[in-house]
Chain A
């Protein structure tokens, strides 16, 4: 097997599949074999759908042979975060309470992948109900960073980032509520994108915080990312918050180059306690973009320091309500207790949810409860307005904003589990984007002294995905960070 065969990009593989140089079955078998080989050390998957994947691959091959590929992803092995419903494939949300849940329906994004011909290889590990920044809150045990298995892959879509970084799939889906795509993309050295709120349907995506959640792709490079986004994006009549707005050809946006792009650098994103290597890498990336003809300017997003607080009020409030449905009545696990209804509820939920989920349900319930609603929930919604306004002002004179994705590279497993607040601060650079509903990408922009990837975040105005992809591709084309691969199995640094 050549390296190119072993670890192709989607764009490569699609070309070879259509040329008949490669079959979907071979490609899928190779992905499944790597997933099996790395199951123990990376734990990227909660469920590998081997049988279904091979069946889908065979169907893809038949269509390819007939010269009638279903769509842009025909025969491409794709992994899906386990908070996204897959009909007939167990969907756990990384939680004990849904350990045996098999949805009778597909999420809209799942259906879109299938319609484009993708082969769904399995469901990736994640923090329980997408609540976490390290993937350590998975009820099935953490996924691990392929660059150093003693480190976290980032969360909550850790497994999806790992799957792409270690080529267990050619692309994957994650969800991003406060940074849950961009943070693991950054820690695992891959490209991850959170689209504008409303750009991609949330139907069938197990809700964490409904006003912030958004599905997005992980890919090896910006070109693949654009391709995947094109498949996912678009209005869905089953999601009232999805937008009726034409989906541009994101591939066309890639060629624009950096010349003339107005790039804003917010001072608030270069903070004390930041890893110096991260700061250097990001500064150097900005210089690269400047060298490519972009205009660089400093700006201020003055309410950035309030974002984490506002986010953890809004997100947990919504979560406390979204997770009330896990009550042991219609699906999911159940613990009966003393035979009363109240005890059934209390014990089912106590046994079914992990510590972080309980913490967020408690926090959100408190923030909405009588006497605290105004001081917490309503206050946070007002601060959200201020954060939105900050961005709107900057985007009057800028095309994109460039920042680090995270203040540090991947931290060690266990390092922050005892201190939830420290964990929450991992998302300090990604959270504002969700509060404002903006599109943003994370792409590799360096390797730190410990040999760990560094992520560059590019933020666009609402529905400015094309600007984000254009800037990202311009940077990527001028550098080679996206070609760096994690060490071979068993390696650590």
Chain B
């Protein structure tokens, strides 16, 4: 029995999601990315003497939106707390957060790993402010601080320790990211740090229930990194315990280059955050009316959308699953269907060529489908051309590629390049006669019963017509000729 078999991992995740508000949580500074250093700052987010926080209403709405989607209880009364610690990117010497009374409690998220569904319980969701950024390498002996991100609203989403493998952790994170994107509350960008994950990892002997000593792992900036870091920690815990050692409760950082975790060097003298209610902010009262208002404005969630795609659009489960895995993809799909209501054909194109194109162009994370290289209406038109018999599926692929580069409409491309399908019998019959004449041996074989050769003849006829012949027509005429008369 290997160490891995003897120990079972227990994993809980804490996700920090930066919210897509226009302004910061407690001041009127912009919350957008990419400004020059300290441009998006003011006396409030710089923690200057005497200034006070005033809550951004949208942050509360977003928290409720997340809470409703995750089926949390929304607290009618929650409280702001101060988390006290010193760090240069923390302007006030405390972070305004929530502690004993968070806005959302409980709830769950359903994930699927290797085709098996699992329900992951959530502990809580609370609101808090982000910190600024320390820049370490500019000067040998000093660091620089930029407070543009200080005060950007965050949701901290905390799971119960219900995850039992790196793969489950990955699936949970992906599901959660899909959800926050669906809700349009967070762009879910792990690389840029707007969707961050800390993992609490411990192991225990299989079959036991007491929790082992847990280690907090930070600094992972991709799904892969989260899975690798957790796998690394599980193996490390098992090895240490195997060797009769003990695990120290600590915070470790994932080193992506060396693919290992290491203890944080800064020994924050025995963490003691001294949480207490923030006297500058009254308790947050969330009325039933506000919850109802947020509920009314909720976008359709992935589960409901998947079910609708199957029931109303008659899509296979698999298609519905793939299309709803991303809100932008599902939105795009629906926009194409709106232009041309052949759901299965649209699904094939979206899951195939559209996804491939996005991947090639590295547009996976583009937020708005209006920026996609092929407009949804154009794709609808392309599929309509196929269904009308104006072009073949094969020609359509060529047209699609050109649409992706030139942005032109399919009709314009087809017209300009003379790609319109030939549906007149005359030229097709001529091509068939030509092909049959060139392959008398194969004609004989076919007539002797080798039906499979039909495909060969179709291919030859298509080639002879530069792909423009209407395939069903080719099929029918060929069959008639070969069987025939």
Chain A contact residues, CB within 8 Å of chain B: 83-85, 91, 93, 98, 101, 103-105, 107, 202-207, 209-211, 237-241, 317-318, 320-321, 323-325, 327, 329-331, 339, 341, 345, 365, 368-370, 373, 377
> Could you tell me if A240 and B43 are in contact, using CB atoms closer than 8 angstroms?
no
B270 to chain A, nearest CB (A): 8
Residue of B nearest to A85 (CB): B50
Collect the chain B residues with CB atoms within 8 Å of residue A211's CB.
279
Complex-state Cα separation, A203 to B92, whole angstroms: 15
A404 to chain B, nearest CB (A): 29
Is B264 at the interface (CB under 8 A from chain A)? no
A207 and B278 alpha carbons, distance in the complex (Å): 13
Number of A-B pairs, beta carbon distance below 8 Å: 100
Residues of chain B with a CB closer than 8 A to A239's CB: 52, 54
What residues on B are CB-neighbors of A365 within 8 Å? Answer: 274
User: Which residue of the partner chain, among A98, A104, A369, contacts B274 with CB atoms under 8 Å?
Assistant: A369
Separation of A105 and B53 alpha carbons in the complex (Å): 15
A88 to chain B, nearest CB (A): 14
Whether A321 touches B91, Cβ cut-off 8 Å, given contacts A206-B50, A239-B52, is no
- CB of B272 within 8 A of chain A? yes
Q: What are 11 A-to-B residue pairs whose CB atoms are below 8 Å?
A: A103-B48, A104-B43, A203-B50, A203-B51, A207-B49, A209-B279, A239-B52, A239-B54, A241-B52, A327-B86, A330-B46
Expressed in whole angstroms, the minimum distance between the Cβ of A363 and any Cβ of chain B is 13
Report B's interface with A, CB cutoff 8 A. 43, 46-55, 82, 84, 86, 88, 91-94, 141, 145, 272, 274-276, 279-282
Q: Of all chain B residues, which has the CB nearest A346?
A: B86
Q: Are A203 and B49 in contact (CB under 8 A)?
A: no
Interface centre among B82, B88, B276 (most CB of A within 10 A): B276
Rounded to whole angstroms, the CA-CA distance of A247 and B9 in the bound complex is 62
CB-CB under 8 A for A204 and B282, given A321-B274, A325-B92, A370-B272: no
Chain A's nearest CB lies how many Å from the CB of B419?
Answer: 63
Are B48 and A330 closer than 8 Å at their CB atoms?
A: yes
Chain A residues within an 8 Å CB radius of B48: 103, 105, 325, 330-331
Most chain A CB within a 10 A radius of its CB, from B46, B275, B279: B279
User: Closest CB of chain A to B66's CB: distance in Å?
Assistant: 23
| A321 and B47 alpha carbons, distance in the complex (Å) | 12
CB distance from A21 to the nearest CB of B (A): 38
CB distance from A472 to the nearest CB of B (A): 29
Give every chain B residue within 8 A of A85 (Cβ-Cβ).
49-50
Q: Which residues of B contact A345 (CB under 8 A)?
A: 86
**Chain A residues positioned under 8 Å from B51 (CB to CB):** 105, 203-204
- Give the CA-CA distance A238 to B43 in the complex, in Å: 12
Does A341 lie within 8 Å of B50, measured CB to CB?
Answer: no
B86, B88, B145, B279: the one within 8 Å of A210 (CB): B279
Which residues from B are CB-within-8-Å of A377? 276
Q: How many Å lie between the Cα of A369 and that of B82 in the bound state?
A: 13
Q: Which residues does chain B contribute within 8 Å of A330, judged by CB atoms?
A: 46-48, 91
- Among B84, B86, B272, the most chain A Cβ lie within 10 Å of the Cβ of B86
| Shortest Cβ distance from B55 into A: residue | A240
In the complex, are the beta carbons of A240 and B53 less than 8 A apart? yes
State whether A324 touches B94 (Cβ < 8 A).
Answer: yes
Specify the chain A residue showing the minimal Cβ separation from B145: A329
What A residues does B47 contact at CB under 8 A? 325, 330
Complex: chain B residue closest to A201, CB-CB: B52
Whether the pair A321, B276 counts as a contact (CB closer than 8 A) is: yes
For A206, list chain B residues within 8 Å (CB).
49-50
| A202 cross-chain contacts in B, Cβ below 8 A | 50, 52
Which has the most chain A C-beta neighbours within 10 Å: B47, B52, B92, B275?
A: B52
Q: Which residues of A contact B88 (CB under 8 A)?
A: 327, 329, 341
Additional 20 contacts, C-beta under 8 A, given A107-B50, A370-B272: A93-B49, A98-B49, A103-B49, A104-B43, A204-B50, A207-B50, A237-B54, A238-B52, A240-B55, A240-B280, A241-B279, A241-B282, A321-B93, A324-B94, A325-B48, A325-B49, A325-B93, A329-B88, A368-B276, A377-B276
Cβ of A91: which chain B residues have Cβ within 8 Å of it?
49
> Whole-angstrom distance from the CB of A371 to the nearest CB of chain B?
9
Q: Which residues of B contact A373 (CB under 8 A)?
A: 274, 276
Nearest A residue to B270, CB-CB? A370
Name B49's contact: one of A101, A317, A318 (CB within 8 Å). Answer: A101
CA distance A99 to B45 in the complex (A): 22
CB distance from B129 to the nearest CB of A (A): 14
- Which residue from chain B places its CB closest to the CB of A91 in the assembled complex? B49
Residue of B nearest to A341 (CB): B88
Q: Is the CB of A327 within 8 A of B93?
A: yes
